[in-house]
Structure 1
Amino acid sequence: MCELPPTHSEPLRSLCNECRVNGLCLPTGLPHDGSCLSALISPRIRIRKGAALFNANAPLTSLYALHSGSFKTHLNNAEGEGVVINFWMPGDVLGLDAIATEHHVCDAIALEDSLVCPIPYHPLQTLARDFPILQQRLNRLMSREIIREHERVLMICNSSADQRLASFLQGLSVRFVSRGYSSHRFILRMSREDIASYLGLRLETICRSVARLRALRIVTLHGRLVEILDMQALIALGLGSPGGHSIAPVPA
């Protein structure tokens, strides 16, 4: 893992109104006269690819609104191997894992050079008492991550390898659309090893599933460039619909 220190970038100040993902971000619960944002949010921090935004067991100091770039979070198992538990895109808020104990339970690693907006947690709590809509927004963010994790567990327990990969790609498509990008063509910032870990599969299983989706002309992959050729078939496969292409389940 790269140990480059984070680099402070430009102050946030009046930039929230200009941010393309501000509708997904926590500070949308604040009035946009600038005063609350200026008092609350620290200057943006640049995290280099491979560096950690925070590590497991580190104390909670801030939540982090992801302005640009991407991250993965992972836990270490009993053997000390990292297990990927989530991927993060612009507009997401990292650090919610630490709210219960005020210590992080996972590592957050940048998948590319990224910019985050630190939101100091204890001042945020104070401000939320004055602006209930901000507390409501924070609650919704936490609920969304719980739901996402429940869906992932259900997928791993009940889906074949091909269904897991289809659901994963379709889910990424939905998240890209919500950020103003193409639903059918996007870049995977994570490695196939990371995808395999997230989906509870072996790397060779992921490679075979990619080959089958390519052969069925549902998806093509050129390096990390994904092109979805048949969205309806991808959705049907992810749901296990009998109306989709019939593909034999593959052991995880």
Structure 2
Amino acid sequence: MINSGRTGGSARRLRIGFLSAAVARGHGRRDALGLVDLLATAGDGPDPGDDRLPPYVLGIRAQLTRSTTRLRSRLLLGNRELVERIHAESVRVVTQYTVRGEPAPAALARFGRTVGDWRSSAAVCRSRAQGLVDEVNHLLACYWDAAWQRAGRELAGRGLADRVPELPERRPSGWLPGRAELDATWHRLDDGLLSDRWYVKDARGTNSYGPSDPGNAKGGHRLSGNTAPGTPAPAAPAAVEQALAILDSQATYGTPAAAGGGPSPRSGGR
């Protein structure tokens, strides 16, 4: 059963409640005149980079990072026993399928159940993190709307319209500098079982050993044809990574007898 302790704790505690929409609008009105040059370029190319964003926008994005990090840490803390069990079961699966070459449906089913439990908890946590992102983007919209309206009124009232491009009545709907998004690690739930994947990106932006290449689960990395002779092969992937590839592909590696008929004497009861 999924409970709040195993899915990142209560999202209510992590809400950026003190940064209300009213406060966001207040900051936008206060910063409006300093943002005129930025507002005048709305819709002309991509949104401005972080070096041009006002402190308010940078501040709530930093708060978002802190809040999602807390969600992730609570997910790991609440599921630490489950993760340990997944690591233990993965060794059994890899041993059966890659070392002994014998399918073990029962072992794979137990492993699949624990992985399914993890993925369910991680998916709930990701949904809560996405909720925080949506809240931050709502506050950003309030901020930029208020800045846009105040800047337009100030320019007209001070007679500066001839020196500064006139702003449209409303902010372009797709223009939201500082827009918040979940980073890619939140969309790869199984990376939580290999925590180094949160900080090291591979060339494809995905796991090196996922369902797209289940054959790699048999024996480690394959050297490409361009690899120089004598180059040592990279270290074999972790057991969890190999077991996940076996599980997701539903592949069975073993002798023809074991793969084509009933279970072997040693694998049927595992």
TM class, shorter-length:
under 0.3
Greater strand proportion:
1
TM-score, with structure 2 as normaliser: 0.24
TM-score, with structure 1 as normaliser: 0.25
